[in-house]
Amino acid sequence: MDITYLLFDNGIYGLTKGQTSPLSAVGLRTTTTPFDNPERPLNPLMMLLSYGASWVGQAYAGRPDHLREMITQAVAHRGFSYLHILSPCVTFDKTSKTYVNLGMQVRDLPEDHDPGDLMAAMNQAQNMDHPALGLYYQQFRPTLGDTFEQNIAKAGGQNA
């Protein structure tokens, strides 16, 4: 389907008074994990790459120009596009995900990264300690709408 999914990830359920989320860092202390979070966070990039999204990217709210460009690319892509947006919650996580600290952790994807190579994208997505920003993966293929139009043409009908 031709859908763009933007996920703003601050690693916490901030609207519920700062509870641990599936994307919270190991060791994060919250109201639901008073003795530190023991769980490794899920890896949304790996999930979307393995689920077959045809466009997967990552941006950081602390780099607004890059973020705007990534949103533009994601929306322009025909197919299912997923943009993971790292956005620290400075209200509830005063330890590791402030703009300053998260800004020091992020890096750009290597210049020679091939967004047409799914395995290279998965390889890059595995490094959650120093997340890379940019276009991880892109594949051009027919959308659901394209398939419907082809089937209508095959059946001899007209597109309404």
**pLDDT over threshold 60, residue 96:** no
CB neighbours (10 Å) of residue 131? 20
Segment 64-88 shows an average pLDDT of 96
CA-to-CA distance for 2 and 134, rounded, in angstroms?
20
Question: Per DSSP, what are the bridge partners of residue 19?
Answer: 13
Tens-digit pLDDT profile for residues 58-67: 999 989 999 9
Per-position b or e across 75-113, b if 16+ CB within 10 A of its CB: eebebbbbbbbbbbbeebbeeebeeeebeeebeebeeeb
Encoding tokens for residue 64?
């607004």
SS3 content of the chain, % helix, strand, coil (to 5): 30, 20, 50
Strand 107-108 relative to strand 132-138, pairing: parallel
- With 0.75 as the threshold, say if the pTM is over it: yes
- The pLDDT of residue 80 is 95
pLDDT band at 94 (very low <50, low <70, confident <90, very high): low
Question: Per DSSP, what are the bridge partners of residue 135?
Answer: 57
- The pLDDT of residue 102 is 67
DSSP notation for 13-43: EGGGTSEE-TTPPTT---SS-TT---SPPP-
Bigger pLDDT: 14 or 6?
6
